[in-house]
Structure 1
Amino acid sequence: MVYSEETIRDEVFDKVLLYNGTNCPREEISSLREIEELEAKSYSENQNQHIHINIRKHLISCAKAISMNDSKIASELIKQIRKEASPIGDGIQRLACILVDGLEARLAGTGSVAYHQYVTMQVRTIDYLKAYYMLTRVSPVIRVSYHFANESILGATGNASKIHVVDFGITHGFQWPSLIQSLAKRKYGPQILRIIGVDLPRPGFHPAERINEIGRRLENYARSFGVPFEYQGIATQWDSICIDDLSIKDDEVLISRARDVSADRLWEASWSSYKVVGRESKRVWMTRVMVVLWGVWKQRNAYIFRRQCKPPWLLARDIKEETEMWLKCCRGVAILG
């Protein structure tokens, strides 16, 4: 594995990660619409439409053959799919290239090897940023979630002098430059911001390479905006982290953020406990989960569309009351049934 110095910050990073009045120029929307129209036109052509139908049919048939351990038919279908798929084709053809790799790995029993090659593959942050930028142009969900989270942090911290953020699964740290920018604009001056980025170590000789690169980038943004800043990167297995590693201080407002992997782990733990409880408890469990998700979703929409923001304690109280109401309804239905 070859170590290469990444771009810490340039105009591309600023354009994507900072608020600039409008992060969605009209000319970019027009170009995206042109791309969509070209894709739609391409799909409407009989030849491409026929290829798409064949790809879908062959992918499904191949998966069924593999599940039935029919390696001969599966191998023939994989060859056919590779003829129809293309890494430079339209969306369906590009997706088929990825799916057929997975099917082939499953057939050959080399899934673990393929996964290891995937996780050790070095993707430059600037390339990831460009893909992220295109995604935010098509769908605002990620950018809106970052904005909502940052506004919640600003509301929760108020005029506190020190803010301590612990980001479990910091990945590339794309959320934090805009928070630094917002802190610099506060009327009573920027607060001291301390971020601890936690992520899994990268395979190879530089396990903390990316997480340290994130720190250098955030330090650059903090310096340019005049925000006092401290950063600590922790590249380790999450289960090995203890409270002392986080250096929590009494005079700081502590913000904890957990993404992707931890959410999956929490869900798996919750699901494991769900599977062993009785029927009535399962109904209660599912009710609580649905009400919490629904409550958070309503609050998110209220903030985005009506600029209404409840403090966390009030949101928690409302969710608790609504949960109790739903549980009473569930018990009533069970009695009537």
Structure 2
Amino acid sequence: MKFVPNIGEFFINLGSDRSNSGRNWQSRTKRNHNYSDLDQFVGRLPKQIVVYTDEPIRNENFDKVLLLKGQKYIEEDSMLRKIMQKEMTDHSRQIQAKLSNNKMKQDKSWRILESVDVRSLLITCSKAISVNNHPLAKELISEIRKYSSPHGDWSQRLAYYFVDGLEARLTGTSNEIYHKLVPQNLTVTEFLKVYHMYRVASPCRGTLVYFANQTILNNISKQTEKVHIINYGIMKGFQWPAFFEHFTTWEGFPPKIRMTIIEVPEPGLCPRRKVELIGRRMEDYAKSFNVPFEYEAIVSEWQNVEVEDLKIANDEVVIVTCLVHSEKLSDEAVHANSPRDIFLNNIRKIKPRIFIHVAFNGPNNSPYFPHRFRAALSLYSSFFEMLDSNLPRGNLERLIIEKHFLMPAAINAIAFEGPNRVERPETYRHWHARKLRAGLVPLPVDPKIKKDVINFVQEHYHKEFVVEDDNGWLLLGWKGRILYGFTTWKASEM
């Protein structure tokens, strides 16, 4: 039963707090505009990376958030959690004081509002849209908007964005609302602040970094001379500074790390912009920790990259990582070989020493809209409730997380169909079955990693976060809903 979602009654709480607890961080910038338009036609990056952005490569804020520094950052994050929990407790007491007011309790309109089940309204609206009952759908959308707000409690916030998705599906304005939510102009410094706040609120990112980095370190030794890490999806490269930092305690000389990044092209005239900047940042961190490092990037759809493109050498220890983002691979069931299956088959052909996969556990891949809507509502209810329990309602980074990182994926599942639906998360059990079919073999969860993760979560985070393991997967969840699955595999001997 621990894998069954537990949403609760999803009833409206009218209290809200619009205070802003965000902070402005300063950053240094470097300028280099030596960029050729012809570069956009080249898939593989040159050895000398050209930077053409005003964003910083590295500064003190990057070091504070991304490096371990003797675990000092954990203590600072814990202090920040206590401050925010006090702020939320004080706000909750204010709401309870209002609720205990006899006049408010006797107010008829208050009794009506506090009993509205927004979840039922959203589901009924989705059913009306699925059968083309537009008059009823419009009436329900108008009703839901009365009880939704981007600044309210978690259910009001979720309803605010979900009703936008329903209206976009109804009116055919899906592209317009989706592009408003995607964080196209968010700088890497702004993203760093959001990343930090999400790490304070949730153990998901910290667990991801520890699981991946420690698994890599467990699979190389002081006798290892060359390591080739093939990384599908770079995620701003925030994982790797702490990885290089581990070699400060390495016995002997660190191995030569060769990293090949496989990333989809960015839209616009500069499809390689992100990977160029990330490459410079990783080179800087590797150099500061005296780690021999070579970086290349292939800008292409994942399924189009062949084993020969990776130029794997016989004397390298090959490790493949895919940390989330696999849900962006399309999966049209009508095709015998979907991009997801091609991707996994290519990993089997690579024959890495270990394949590290972190999956976003979302059952949102149904082709039937009403089922997909209910699954998305259940999944994102957990995320919004988790943020509501760990971050103040007026926190600026929380607003950005909800609007620009959670909701684009949800809106894509709600308002789009066919090839336009680029977010297709599926459960870790579905991924498990896919990998078995592709000729991969699951490895057991490392007992020490599991123990460390459990201790980390229990010591520093909300009691409702849970860590379990199932059939080779280390699972991290909130109130019975599994949010992420962490797992390792190898190619079968065929």
TM-score by structure 2 length?
A: 0.51
Residue 186 of structure 2 is matched in structure 1 by: 123
Cα separation, partners in 2 of 1:258 and 1:140, compared to 1, 3 Å: same
Residue 30 of structure 1 is matched in structure 2 by: 82
Cα separation, partners in 2 of 1:142 and 1:48, compared to 1, 3 Å: farther
Cα separation, partners in 2 of 1:161 and 1:5, compared to 1, 3 Å: same
Residue 107 of structure 1 is matched in structure 2 by: 170
Cα separation, partners in 2 of 1:214 and 1:56, compared to 1, 3 Å: same
Q: Distance in 2 between matches of 1:170 and 1:72?
A: 45
Where 2:271 maps in the other structure, the secondary structure is coil
Which amino acid is the alignment partner of residue 14 of structure 1?
Answer: D
Q: Distance in 1 between matches of 2:279 and 2:140?
A: 47
Cα separation, partners in 2 of 1:49 and 1:245, compared to 1, 3 Å: farther
User: Does 2:64 align with 1:15?
Assistant: yes
What is the CA distance between 1:158 and its match in structure 2?
A: 0.4
Q: Distance in 1 between matches of 2:171 and 2:327?
A: 31
Cα separation, partners in 2 of 1:257 and 1:62, compared to 1, 3 Å: same
Q: Is the 8 A contact 1:171 1:199 kept in 2?
A: no
What is the CA distance between 1:166 and its match in structure 2?
A: 0.7
Please tell me the root mean square deviation across aligned C-alpha atoms, in Å: 3.6
Report 1:56-71 matches (<5 A): 56-71=119-134
User: Does 2:210 align with 1:140?
Assistant: no
Residue 323 of structure 1 is matched in structure 2 by: none
Larger mean CA deviation between 192-201 and 80-89 belongs to: 80-89
| Aligned equivalent of 1:226, options 290, 295, 307 | 290
Q: Percent identity over the alignment?
A: 34
Q: Distance in 2 between matches of 1:129 and 1:176?
A: 14
Cα separation, partners in 2 of 1:67 and 1:147, compared to 1, 3 Å: same
Cα separation, partners in 2 of 1:104 and 1:121, compared to 1, 3 Å: farther
User: Does 2:218 align with 1:168?
Assistant: no
Which amino acid is the alignment partner of residue 57 of structure 2?
Answer: I
Where 2:319 maps in the other structure, the secondary structure is strand
Residue 296 of structure 1 is matched in structure 2 by: 445
What is the CA distance between 1:218 and its match in structure 2?
A: 0.8
Where 2:191 maps in the other structure, the secondary structure is helix
| Aligned equivalent of 1:206, options 236, 256, 270 | 270
Q: How many residue pairs end up in the alignment? A: 292
What is the CA distance between 1:65 and its match in structure 2?
A: 2.5
Residue 92 of structure 1 is matched in structure 2 by: 155
Larger Rg: 1
What is the CA distance between 1:43 and its match in structure 2?
A: 6.2
Larger mean CA deviation between 68-77 and 109-118 belongs to: 109-118
Q: Is the 8 A contact 1:43 1:49 kept in 2?
A: no
Residue 74 of structure 1 is matched in structure 2 by: 137
User: Does 2:319 align with 1:255?
Assistant: yes
Q: Distance in 2 between matches of 1:42 and 1:129?
A: 32
Which amino acid is the alignment partner of residue 450 of structure 2?
Answer: N
Which amino acid is the alignment partner of residue 254 of structure 1?
Answer: V
Q: Distance in 1 between matches of 2:95 and 2:165?
A: 25
Q: Which has the higher contact order (CA 8 A, sep 6+)?
A: 2
What is the CA distance between 1:49 and its match in structure 2?
A: 10
Which amino acid is the alignment partner of residue 19 of structure 1?
Answer: L
What is the CA distance between 1:165 and its match in structure 2?
A: 0.8
Which amino acid is the alignment partner of residue 225 of structure 1?
Answer: F
Q: Is the 8 A contact 1:211 1:234 kept in 2?
A: no
Which amino acid is the alignment partner of residue 80 of structure 2?
Answer: E
| Aligned equivalent of 1:239, options 294, 298, 303 | 303
| CA shift digits 1:238-291 (9 cap, x unpaired) | 1211123212122221111123343675998699xxxxxxxxxxxxx69x89xx
What is the CA distance between 1:204 and its match in structure 2?
A: 0.9
Where 2:254 maps in the other structure, the secondary structure is coil
TM-score by structure 1 length?
A: 0.73
Cα separation, partners in 2 of 1:110 and 1:266, compared to 1, 3 Å: closer
Residue 328 of structure 1 is matched in structure 2 by: none
Query: Which protein is richer in helix relative to its size?
Result: 1
Q: Distance in 2 between matches of 1:38 and 1:63?
A: 37
| Aligned equivalent of 1:193, options 225, 236, 257 | 257
Q: Distance in 2 between matches of 1:235 and 1:88?
A: 38
What is the CA distance between 1:39 and its match in structure 2?
A: 5.8
User: Does 2:281 align with 1:217?
Assistant: yes
Where 1:158 maps in the other structure, the secondary structure is coil
Which amino acid is the alignment partner of residue 23 of structure 1?
Answer: Y
Query: Which protein is richer in strand relative to its size?
Result: 2
| CA shift digits 1:91-147 (9 cap, x unpaired) | 333322221221111111333554456558333222222222222222223212321
* Structure 1: tracts of 5 or more residues without a match: 272-284, 307-317, 320-337
* Structure 2: tracts of 5 or more residues without a match: 1-51, 100-109, 342-432, 456-470, 473-494
